[in-house]
Amino acid sequence: MRKSCQHPRHEGQELSSLTGRLRREARKVTGPRAAILEILRHHPHPLTIKEVFEELPKSGCDLATVYRAMQMMEKLGMVKRFDFGDGAARFELMNEGDNGHHHHLICTRCAQVVRIEECFPAEIERQIASKNGYQAVTHRLEFFGICPDCQK
Q: Which fold does the domain 15-151 belong to in CATH?
A: Arc Repressor Mutant, subunit A (1.10.10)
Task: Tell me the pLDDT of the chain averaged across its residues.
Answer: 81
| Element holding 20 (H helix, E strand) | helix 15-26
Does the structure show a pLDDT above 90 at 50?
yes
Does the structure show a pLDDT above 70 at 107?
yes
Q: Is the distance from CB of 47 to CB of 40 less than 8 angstroms? A: yes
Nearest by Cα to 150 from 118, 106, 117: 106
Q: For the segment 69-79, what is each residue's pLDDT rounded down to a tens digit? A: 999 889 888 88
Does the structure show a pLDDT above 90 at 18?
no
pLDDT at 67: 94
104-117 average pLDDT score? 85
Nearest by Cα to 108 from 86, 87, 91: 86
Domain ranges of the chain: 15-151
